[in-house]
Amino acid sequence: MNFPDCKSENINKNGSNSSGKQKFICKSCGRQFVENPEYRKIGSLVIRVEIFIQIKQFVILVFRFIPITKFPFLNNELP
């Protein structure tokens, strides 16, 4: 068996994960891995979408308590 990232054959068993699958550690680079993972890493797009949703909810909450007249640009008025 080879480590998927650095292709090293210098690996050892390193316990098991929460679902009981065998974990391994690469002695060349020190990273851990599971041979056939059931779950994939969370992609950066998913994280960005979650952050966008949190920011949107925050903005909605802030604008609920501030009258729109305090923001002339939202009323199509020029300063």
Q: Are residues 3 and 32 in the same domain?
A: yes
Q: Are residues 2 and 30 in the same domain?
A: yes
Whether 8 and 30 have beta carbons less than 8 Å apart is answered as no
Q: Are residues 14 and 32 in the same domain?
A: yes
Does the structure show a pLDDT above 60 at 71? yes
Q: Are residues 2 and 22 in the same domain?
A: yes
**Of 25 and 64, the one with more pLDDT:** 25
Angstrom distances, CA of residue 15 to CA of 4, 12, 23: 18, 10, 5
8-59 tens-digit pLDDT: 888 899 998 877 889 999 888 888 888 877 665 556 666 777 788 888 888 8
Q: Are residues 32 and 48 in the same domain?
A: no
Q: Are residues 1 and 33 in the same domain?
A: yes
Q: Are residues 3 and 31 in the same domain?
A: yes
> Which range marks the domain in which residue 55 is found?
44-75
